[in-house]
A and B are shown apart, each in its own frame.
Chain A
Amino acid sequence: MSSSSAPGAGDPVPIDDGDRPSRPRPVRFISPAVLNLHRVYEQDQQRIQNKDGVKVPDPTVAQVKGKPRLLIMGQKGSGKSSISSVVFHKLPAAETLFMESTARIQKDSLNSFMEFQVWDFPGQIDIFNNPSYSFDLDAIFGEVGALIWVIDALDDYSESISRLNMTVVHLQRSYPHITIEVLVHKVDSLTEDYRGEIVREVELRTLDELGDLGVENAPISFHLTSIYNHSIFEAFSKVIQKLIPRLGQLEAMLTSLCRTCRFEKAYLFDVNTKIYIASDSTPEDTTSYVICSDYVDVIIDLTEVYGSWPRSQQWRDRLEGEPFNQTLEEQVGCEWAESVMVLADSKRPIMLREVDRFLALVAIMKEGSYDKMAQINMNVDVVVKGLTDFFEITRAGEKSRTGQEMVGQLPQN
């Protein structure tokens, strides 16, 4: 679905680019000297910026300060607010029917593994050419982020495309670090064939017009979406992945886990939004995304029913007494949620493991792996520890880390 996407902010910084998914170890060692060089480079960039008052665009380095920003724009009634409510506030899709039109910019911040800002723009405002009020474009586009342009596939989209192109022209000139994501939206009622046709047409027209305006190779990707199925979550997953610094390393960790434990597919989910922030390097597959994301839902629902209320002290005292004589903390194997479900069809298990408050690792395993769960759990433990460290480090914006060795490879059948 996505095409012509030029290097965006999510691509690894230059010093990391030797880190190919095919490496046997999840994370590469980086010498302190290289890191120091990198830091000096970053400081330089910032100094230039302060002096000139002009942003120096550097698409390859993710800003340490400031939160990545998602800017949602598009024509009035194209479904921008519905999208942000469904994805970021868990509103049931059916209830978006009653939403009112947005009158001013809605700024939301999203606390998750990374802090995001979501800005929802009213469709009737043209921020570049507004007679009554001039917008501070630096304040809007200054941060690293993505522009999400929503096009209503059921409506006449020629005006939307020309507005999109005006925006792209502006952005290319002053803020080329912003990636542009076009959502061809409301496609749920269209047939499969027609969807492909419409996205091709939108893409062709956009790129044609941009070519006429003299913009080549703009970082635009196109997605087909609907709030009534998983496509909107998948599209946002891809958008957010571009904003994650050093995504390659996350992917490498997952890929390595997949190979060691013979997983078919592994995802790292943001539990609250059901966006996956990384997966292994095997090709995209919507059906496995759907089942993994629904699995997260099942776990959330079960936890609500059985895990969200306090047990009595007697209950705890009894459990900690004979015959165990251990505190509950000592009796459990893992303090976070862990779960396995064996599908009846060819006995494929699906596993879920919580990484921290926000993230969960979900993987589809190969047939017959259930018997090796103990070993797999140990490997997963190592990867989870690696992931936790990874986020601590990227959050602090500090140095990278060394990887850890897997606990013994599984014998191949």
Chain B
Amino acid sequence: MSDFDAGTGATAGGSAALAAAQAQLKKIKKQKVLLMGKSGSGKSSMRSIIFSNYVAKDTRRLGATIDIDLSHVKFLGNLTLNLWDCGGQEAFMENYLSQQRSHVFSNVGVLIYVFDIKSGEWERDLGTYVNIISALVQYSREAQVFILIHKMDLVARNHREADYEAAVAAVRRKTAEACAIVRRLRNDSGAATKLSSSSSQQPPGGSSSGAGDLDLDVDVQFFATSIWDQSLYKAWASIIHDLVPNLPIIETQLASLGQAVDADEILLFERTSFLVVSKWTSQEGDSNPYGDRFERMSNILKAWKHTCSSFTGTPRNAEQFSDFEYRMGTSFSMFVTKFTTNTFILVCLPPGEARFNSAKLNVAAARPWFKYLDGPVVPPGSSQGPGVPAGSGYGGGGGGGAGEMGMGPPEN
């Protein structure tokens, strides 16, 4: 397959590194992402907003998800997210935990668990959560877990922080409990059930458990979200951030591009979801008081796309604009433009016509540097990439990855 052609064609310099990169590419090409949480907590709504270009108020139309809604989300061309939107009604939940247990919970790359902050039965939700986490740890112990405390818009502004902190503390406690349960079970049935996976790339964040032989602690990340503001984009940008292949190289390249064009900030967006894939900020740009500006940009541009689609009558998933320029007098200039097949780039610059025009040309000229964003192409040579994607902690796909090798390069 062309994966291999690309590999053999590259310089011999980093052949070992290349092989490693290829292996990793294959592994994470198709990531199984579980989206779980109790019924009505907003799983399908957020999925529709992020990946299907719904606006928040359109989600009122969505009905309850029955069983598991499988979707393959193409992300950056060569990465397919296998999104399992699991209906949250109790009957389904029980089914996932019993009959479908191994089917649902094996080879999971990421689990996204959604809590409704306004849920009336918080204890019960936590109980279900413990069961889910136990099952996850049992079958895919290297999966990443993201907890979204959702519907924050329904909490009065002055209580938001306190309520969120309380929820996070409770979930943390329950996560530890779930791990403890599994550990005990495993010790009972004899520690010989060590998984065959020899991956030694446990995320550094995961602290090792007391026993030492089996690291069962789950690394959990928390986000407060609402579909009515940009917080949703923040959470999802972090979720996909670690799934992006070749990320260290992209970041290095983006930094050199930023320095070359004298930019203050560069953001790289995925084409359909407008999630921030990578970003670079200059020293001056760092003093920007808007810490949430990345997700805000996603939100603004996404809303704009929606307006365009109702104006032009084109489908909302279609591309809506190709170029955007904005010069704000002596304050700043910026442009957003289609960059590679699967990405858009936003460049924020200091003011000045000459600077603006040359930056536009330079960004266009830099496109080839980022070619491998769109296909399974490994960057050539070691000159560009001292950091060939070192293991970023995805053993989760394990054996499953090999099965997907047959996939050709994504069509454009």
Contacts and interface: CB of A to CB of B under 8 A. Distances in A.
Contacts, number: 127
Contacts of B122: none
A202 interface: no
Contacts of B311: 287-288, 290-291, 343
Nearest to A336: B329
Contact of B330 (A329, A339, A343): A329
A304 B301 CA distance: 14
Nearest to A326: B352
A305 B290 CA distance: 6
Interface in B85-99: none
B353 interface: yes
Contacts of A294: 303-304, 307
Contacts of B312: 343-346
B4 interface: no
A337 B327 contact: yes
Contacts of A340: 323-325
- By secondary structure, the B interface counts as mixed
Contact of A342 (B287, B322, B330): B322
Contact of A344 (B284, B310, B320, B332): B320
A332 B326 contact: no
Given A294-B307, A344-B320, A309 B288 contact: yes
Contacts of B320: 343-345
B355 to A, nearest CB: 7
A342 B352 contact: no
Contact of B350 (A299, A319, A342): A319
A189 to B, nearest CB: 13
A345 B353 contact: no
Given A306-B288, A335-B330, A345 B352 contact: no
A328 B349 CA distance: 13
Nearest to B284: A315
A58 interface: no
Given A299-B326, A328-B351, A337-B327, A307 B332 contact: yes
Given A291-B311, A315-B350, A331-B352, A341 B323 contact: yes
Nearest to A228: B57
Contacts of A339: 324-327
Interface in A53-89: none
A126 interface: no
A307 to B, nearest CB: 4
Contacts of A319: 350-352, 355
Interface residues of A, number: 41
A302 interface: yes
B284 A309 contact: no
Interface string B282-323: 001001111001001100110110011011101000111111
Interface in A269-294: 287-288, 290-291, 294
Given A306-B334, A337-B326, A337-B329, A331 B321 contact: no
Interface in B122-139: none
Contacts of B314: 344-345
Contacts of A302: 300, 326, 334
Contacts of A287: 310-311
B352 to A, nearest CB: 4
B331 interface: yes
Interface in B227-284: 264-265, 284
B390 to A, nearest CB: 33
B348 interface: yes
Given A315-B350, A343-B308, A306 B323 contact: no
Q: Which 5 pairs, one residue from A and one from B, show the smallest C-beta to C-beta distance?
A: A331-B352, A345-B312, A339-B326, A294-B307, A307-B331
Interface of B: 264-265, 284, 287-290, 293, 296-297, 300-301, 303-304, 307-308, 310-312, 314, 318-332, 334, 348, 350-355
Given A295-B304, A306-B334, 14 more contacts: A298-B304, A299-B326, A303-B331, A306-B288, A306-B332, A306-B348, A307-B328, A309-B288, A309-B289, A319-B350, A335-B330, A344-B308, A344-B322, A347-B322
